[in-house]
Amino acid sequence: MSESKFATKTNAGNFFEDYQVGQIIHHAVPRTVSGGERSLYHMLYPARHALHSSDAFAQSCGLTASPLDDMIAFHIVFGKSVPDISLNAVANLGYADCRWMGSVWAGDTIRSSSEVIGLKQNSNGKSGVVYVRTTGTNQNGVVVMQFVRWVMVRKADLSAPAPETVIPDLIGAVDPSDLVIPDGLDFNNYDFTLAGETHRLGDYKVGEFIDHVDGVTIEEAEHMMATRLWQNTAKVHFDVTSRPDGKRLIYGGHVMSMARALTFNGLANAQIMVAINGGAHANPCFAGDTVRAWSEVLDTADTSAPGVGAIRLRLVATKGGKVGALKGDDGKYLPEVLLDLDYWALMPV
Amino acid sequence: MSESKFATKTNAGNFFEDYQVGQIIHHAVPRTVSGGERSLYHMLYPARHALHSSDAFAQSCGLTASPLDDMIAFHIVFGKSVPDISLNAVANLGYADCRWMGSVWAGDTIRSSSEVIGLKQNSNGKSGVVYVRTTGTNQNGVVVMQFVRWVMVRKADLSAPAPETVIPDLIGAVDPSDLVIPDGLDFNNYDFTLAGETHRLGDYKVGEFIDHVDGVTIEEAEHMMATRLWQNTAKVHFDVTSRPDGKRLIYGGHVMSMARALTFNGLANAQIMVAINGGAHANPCFAGDTVRAWSEVLDTADTSAPGVGAIRLRLVATKGGKVGALKGDDGKYLPEVLLDLDYWALMPV
Amino acid sequence: MSESKFATKTNAGNFFEDYQVGQIIHHAVPRTVSGGERSLYHMLYPARHALHSSDAFAQSCGLTASPLDDMIAFHIVFGKSVPDISLNAVANLGYADCRWMGSVWAGDTIRSSSEVIGLKQNSNGKSGVVYVRTTGTNQNGVVVMQFVRWVMVRKADLSAPAPETVIPDLIGAVDPSDLVIPDGLDFNNYDFTLAGETHRLGDYKVGEFIDHVDGVTIEEAEHMMATRLWQNTAKVHFDVTSRPDGKRLIYGGHVMSMARALTFNGLANAQIMVAINGGAHANPCFAGDTVRAWSEVLDTADTSAPGVGAIRLRLVATKGGKVGALKGDDGKYLPEVLLDLDYWALMPV
């Protein structure tokens, strides 16, 4: 459609040759959030972590009120970057060094910007990989989150010269000492009964697997509303004419939020997401799929906050696979695996 | 799934032998509500009772603002009890003595607890009936509502001894003198034009039937979002693999809210639900069903509040039945009847 | 159903012979809005105009905060009029002289009333055209919007005498000098980067067409929730048994909001709707249709507010037609055209 003579005023998105290392892109349409977004998050996902559900519970943990779910900040900051970064993306290749750095509260206005930190043209000369560090900021200029992602973007002008290859140094996992703990967080008076489970950090062993048991069958209306709520308007999620198979591709972040909410059953005390070390959308998800989740404990760590520890988890979303089954003998993700996410969460010690 | 070796940290729910009379169970995950929940209620149900729609109207009735819909409190308090009371329930057998005792306002945090008030093992030794009184409380410790329900729960350990049978004394209907009227409620300046109908309490006759005319065809996305919003995560509502027929069972409370909202047409002035005397989910409801409703006037009463009367109604939700048709010659509910609810509401005299 | 012996308390709506020129009808059920309605609007439509998304952006334009989307006011005021004006309507014939006159903010309570300004019985004696001017007012009595619409309504009593024919003088388009600019609006410090596009009023030429590129495939759950949210309960939108074809007709206002939201791509700076000059729902829309939009620039004008201009646009929603294709050789709308709307919006000069 971008070839239409009537499309001169519309955004055709950026192509590989439009990016330069060091370039800073200010994404459009800041967004003010309220209790409305909080209630919608509970309507769209089976989210039950107490700290994001109850002001009183959050106050008993040293916070002034219940902050919005961590994934709300992720979705808003990510969604704003779509028109500038991934409108012409062939593939989302990966995430790294994602850290939540400040809570988001009802009334905050979030904006988003990205710095191009790496470029590598593909050998076919038709596309290339763009690495960006995307930052979300609130109305006071405080950074609320940051992440690196890299996407494969096609070239519009195949004769454009290849840029110098720059591949950023990406950390494998966020060091626990670099996790940002919300101001005032204190789990010494943590109420395990109200939180829903008795397991504290010391009860989890590295290498342990957890079956989160519950499944949710996904509807078209739900994933479209969830994706639209964060102003992510990539057409493959909304328009049945945009793919040859007539299916609407479900936004990968919808699967992330669904899987994270399902972890309540077994990880009710992993209250706050503080970092994503890496992640892959292993296979596409479509309406009618029943999403399930399992977790593997990868690591644990102390933090400087009273009573607060950190747990590193692999979160795997499937449409029906076995707990622990991730890749085949060929090293590729099994066809029923939807998401493989590696993250840090805060939990009472 | 609870047999999985990976499920040691997940909640397998309680079984019949786990309950003892006198036991108090504090349900997890308190919930703070806002204007968001109020707007969602209007999106999910055709709710038009003016007192729950307009601050200005509520203020003209002596309240400080428009309280959240009464059924929101019911759903939250009920939903929190599901993981502890009905996860292994074979059947929801009944409700009694449900009373709203304090309004819920935007900003309130609701928690829920249940006392076991009766137990009766079935003669087959494989299950039993558990009676609980469930109480919802706000952040100030004020009771906002209370109800008794009883469910049939299976035993996990068939060799566990039968408990002493205790069957609580359940009242048949709440006495009008026990209805709790919201502080300050005054219908002397009631605006019948803004409320939508001219009929006052005196215009309704005991034995009168009202056809509420409108019907709503239910979609999967809607009932799942409604149920999830109240953090009720019973898997039969969400997971197509959880029943042999591959259907998602609609949460009975969704039918209650839908039917109550439909009563606006004919009972626009039955503004506030104050008690449920009893109720039965007569037949399951599935997506694609078109829900309709009719009411029968069972009783009327005075209250101590100025201009405020009480009306006792039978509310019947159907998927297409005739007004007044409830049970067959065999004494069983007709197959098209979904809900048979007996409740008290407040109405201008 | 209105013939039911049990329907004596329900609203059967007004028939043609019930209206008199000069009659004022106060519509029921005032509605208080909050941040919840704002978040829902973003969930239901791909709305990205920055002034309705961000308090900070609105403040940079001289407003105290971000007002609710203009179409929210339209839907609420319109929805309230349905039970009194269009319950027995055979057809919605047109709109004229629709003007937004005051912003709606979270916390406001909106009510609606209509004055009958014209009547013309049809020559068949079975129906007639009713012209009303509908006005929305906030809790302080300030008019927030006003529009004229005319509908064809059937007679219940065919023997009722025809009223004197009164056809109101309807203006063809709102004169730009009659547009009401929100208090304090100032686009001199307008941030085009945050707004999402660089085009100012001077960049648009009368006669220019804009292809808004994106499409949204509509689901039953979404249009029902959108329509219900505004308390519009016309049964054709909700009840599959209400039409012979078993389809639920999508509320025309849902198509208006969807199309207006899609205009962001090409008209991101047409921030505020201030008038609708006329509109037609050209063909019915059903779930499964993929809604697209194009615009034609009809006029531009200055306003008295600093940096603020006005642009008059034809907004056409289609289910797949070509940009610019509106009517066939027979002068009738092409079958793929859903909406033909003529409106004024405010834009930086």
| Environment class of B236 (CB within 10 Å of its CB; exposed 0-12, middle 13-18, buried 19+) | middle
HEC string of A140-175 equals CCCEEEEEEEEEEEECCCCCCCCCCCECCCCCCCCC
- Chain B CB contacts of C219 below 8 Å: 219, 221
> Mutual orientation of helices C220-229 and C252-262 as an angle, nearest 10°?
100
Of A10, A139, A222, the CB nearest to C265: A10
Main-chain dihedrals φ then ψ at residue C159, nearest 5 degrees:
-85, -5
Q: Say whether pLDDT at B68 is over 70.
A: yes
Yes or no, beta carbons of C11 and B195 under 8 Å apart: no
- Chain B CB contacts of A268 below 8 Å: 28
List the alpha helices (DSSP H) in C263-336.
264-267
- Chain C CB contacts of A84 below 8 Å: none
Amino acid at B319: K
> Dihedral of CA B250/B251/B252/B253: which sign?
negative
Q: Say whether pLDDT at B148 is over 70.
A: yes
Which are the contacts of C115, defined by CB distance < 8 A and separation ≥ 6? C22, C23, C24, C25, C132, C133, C135
Yes or no, beta carbons of C211 and A11 under 8 Å apart: no
Chains that touch B (3 or more CB pairs under 8 A): A, C
Chain B nearest CA to A102, separation (Å): 21
Among residues B210, B219, B237, the alpha carbon closest in space to that of B290 is found at: B219
What is the spatial distance between Cα C98 and Cα A279, in angstroms, rounded to a whole number?
A: 50
Confidence at residue B4, expressed as pLDDT on a 0 to 100 scale = 63
Which residues on neighbouring strands pair with residue C27, listed in sequence order? none
Searching chain A, which residue's CA lies closest to the CA of residue B4?
A: A211
Q: Whole-prediction pTM value?
A: 0.96
> Dihedral of CA B73/B75/B79/B81: which sign?
positive
Chain B nearest CA to A193, separation (Å): 6
Where does the pLDDT of residue A2 fall: very low under 50, low under 70, confident under 90, or very high at 90 and above? Answer: very low
Of A49, A193, A222, the CB nearest to B26: A193
- Chain B CB contacts of A54 below 8 Å: 29-32, 109, 111
Yes or no, beta carbons of A217 and B111 under 8 Å apart: no
Q: What is the pLDDT of residues C296-305, one digit of tens each?
A: 999 999 999 9
Chain A nearest CA to B264, separation (Å): 25
- Chain C CB contacts of A13 below 8 Å: none
Confidence at residue C4, expressed as pLDDT on a 0 to 100 scale = 62
User: Quick one: how far is CA C24 from the chain centroid?
Assistant: 21
Chains that touch C (3 or more CB pairs under 8 A): A, B
Chain C nearest CA to A55, separation (Å): 18
- Chain C CB contacts of B202 below 8 Å: none
Confidence at residue A125, expressed as pLDDT on a 0 to 100 scale = 95
Chains that touch A (3 or more CB pairs under 8 A): B, C
Among residues B55, B58, B35, the alpha carbon closest in space to that of C32 is found at: B55
Helix (H) or strand (E) run with residue B6 in it: none
Q: Answer yes or no: are the C-beta atoms of A4 and A77 closer than 8 Å.
A: no
- B191 — contact with chain C (CB < 8 Å)? no
- B23 — contact with chain A (CB < 8 Å)? no
Confidence at residue B122, expressed as pLDDT on a 0 to 100 scale = 96
Chain C nearest CA to B66, separation (Å): 9
Yes or no, beta carbons of C194 and A31 under 8 Å apart: no
- A198 — contact with chain C (CB < 8 Å)? no
- A109 — contact with chain C (CB < 8 Å)? yes
- Concatenating the DSSP letter of every residue in A83-143 gives IIIITTEEEEEEEEEEEE-S---TT-EEEEEEEEEEEEE-TTSSEEEEEEEEEEE-TTS-E
- C199 — contact with chain B (CB < 8 Å)? no
Of B111, B226, B238, the CB nearest to A217: B238
- A242 — contact with chain C (CB < 8 Å)? yes
What is the spatial distance between Cα A57 and Cα A66, in angstroms, rounded to a whole number?
A: 8
- B209 — contact with chain C (CB < 8 Å)? yes
Looking up tokens 């959880």 gives B242
Q: Answer yes or no: are the C-beta atoms of B198 and C10 closer than 8 Å.
A: no
Yes or no, beta carbons of B4 and A323 under 8 Å apart: yes
Which one of B31, B76, B217, B227 makes the best mutation probe of the A interface by having the most chain A beta carbons within 10 Å?
Answer: B31
User: Quick one: how far is CA B251 from the chain centroid?
Assistant: 11
| Environment class of A143 (CB within 10 Å of its CB; exposed 0-12, middle 13-18, buried 19+) | middle
- B31 — contact with chain A (CB < 8 Å)? yes
Yes or no, beta carbons of C268 and A28 under 8 Å apart: yes
Yes or no, beta carbons of B210 and C39 under 8 Å apart: no
When the pLDDT of each residue in chain A is averaged and rounded to a whole number, the result is 95
Q: What is the pLDDT of residues A29-45, one digit of tens each?
A: 999 999 999 999 999 99
CB atoms within 10 A of CB C118: 20
Main-chain dihedrals φ then ψ at residue B168, nearest 5 degrees:
-70, 150
DSSP-based three-state secondary structure for B178: helix
Searching chain B, which residue's CA lies closest to the CA of residue C111?
A: B194
Confidence at residue C163, expressed as pLDDT on a 0 to 100 scale = 97
Confidence at residue B1, expressed as pLDDT on a 0 to 100 scale = 37
**C1-4, Cβ contacts within 8 angstroms, sequence gap of 24 or more:** C1/B211, C1/B213, C2/B213, C4/B211, C4/B213, C4/B323
- Chain B CB contacts of A38 below 8 Å: 34, 36
Mean pLDDT of B97-111: 97
List the alpha helices (DSSP H) in chain B.
35-44, 55-60, 70-81, 192-195, 220-229, 252-262, 264-267
Yes or no, beta carbons of B239 and A215 under 8 Å apart: yes
Where does the pLDDT of residue A189 fall: very low under 50, low under 70, confident under 90, or very high at 90 and above? Answer: very high
Confidence at residue C1, expressed as pLDDT on a 0 to 100 scale = 37
Which one of C6, C76, C109 makes the best mutation probe of the B interface by having the most chain B beta carbons within 10 Å?
Answer: C6
What is the spatial distance between Cα B241 and Cα C320, in angstroms, rounded to a whole number?
A: 37
CB atoms within 10 A of CB A81: 22
Confidence at residue C93, expressed as pLDDT on a 0 to 100 scale = 87
Where does the pLDDT of residue B3 fall: very low under 50, low under 70, confident under 90, or very high at 90 and above? Answer: very low
What is the b/e burial string over C43-71, where b = at least 16 CB atoms within 10 angstroms of the residue's CB? bbbbbbbbbbbbbbbbebbbbeebbbbbb
Which residues on neighbouring strands pair with residue C336, listed in sequence order? none
Which are the contacts of B36, defined by CB distance < 8 A and separation ≥ 6? A34, A35, A36, A37, A38, A39, A40, C34, C35, C36, C39
- A56 — contact with chain B (CB < 8 Å)? yes
- A42 — contact with chain C (CB < 8 Å)? no
Yes or no, beta carbons of B221 and A217 under 8 Å apart: no
Searching chain B, which residue's CA lies closest to the CA of residue C28?
A: B194
Mean pLDDT of B244-257: 96
- Chain B CB contacts of C228 below 8 Å: 42-46
Looking up tokens 């494998």 gives A172
Q: What percent of chain A has pLDDT over 90?
A: 91
- Chain B CB contacts of A198 below 8 Å: none
Confidence at residue B11, expressed as pLDDT on a 0 to 100 scale = 83
Helix (H) or strand (E) run with residue B90 in it: strand B89-100
Task: Print pLDDT tens along chain C (349 aa).
Answer: 344 677 688 888 899 999 999 999 999 999 999 999 999 999 999 999 999 999 999 999 999 999 999 999 999 999 999 999 988 888 888 899 999 999 999 999 999 999 999 999 999 999 999 999 999 999 999 999 999 999 999 999 999 999 999 999 998 899 999 999 999 999 999 999 999 999 999 999 999 999 999 999 999 999 999 999 999 988 899 999 999 999 999 999 999 999 999 999 999 999 999 999 999 999 999 999 999 999 999 999 999 999 999 999 999 999 998 999 999 999 999 999 999 999 999 999 9
Chain B nearest CA to A175, separation (Å): 27
End-to-end Cα, chain B, rounded Å: 55
Parallel, antiparallel, or unpaired: how do β-strands B109-121 and B24-26 relate?
antiparallel
Q: Answer yes or no: are the C-beta atoms of C130 and C118 closer than 8 Å.
A: yes
Q: Say whether pLDDT at A326 is over 90.
A: yes
What is the spatial distance between Cα C16 and Cα C120, in angstroms, rounded to a whole number?
A: 9
Yes or no, beta carbons of B55 and C37 under 8 Å apart: no
Yes or no, beta carbons of B56 and C32 under 8 Å apart: yes
| Environment class of B169 (CB within 10 Å of its CB; exposed 0-12, middle 13-18, buried 19+) | exposed
What is the spatial distance between Cα A293 and Cα B13, in angstroms, rounded to a whole number?
A: 19
Main-chain dihedrals φ then ψ at residue C59, nearest 5 degrees:
-65, -35
- C216 — contact with chain B (CB < 8 Å)? no
Searching chain C, which residue's CA lies closest to the CA of residue B67?
A: C32
Q: Which residue has the higher pLDDT, B3 or C173?
A: C173
- C267 — contact with chain A (CB < 8 Å)? yes
Searching chain C, which residue's CA lies closest to the CA of residue A2?
A: C213
Main-chain dihedrals φ then ψ at residue B83, nearest 5 degrees:
-60, -30
Looking up tokens 């493989």 gives A340
Which residues on neighbouring strands pair with residue B130, listed in sequence order? B119, B151
What is the spatial distance between Cα B53 and Cα C108, in angstroms, rounded to a whole number?
A: 12
Searching chain A, which residue's CA lies closest to the CA of residue C262?
A: A233
E strand residue ranges, C272-307:
272-281, 290-302
Q: What is the pLDDT of residues B266-313, one digit of tens each?
A: 999 999 999 999 999 999 999 999 999 999 999 999 999 999 999 999
Looking up tokens 């509500």 gives B33
- Chain C CB contacts of A43 below 8 Å: none
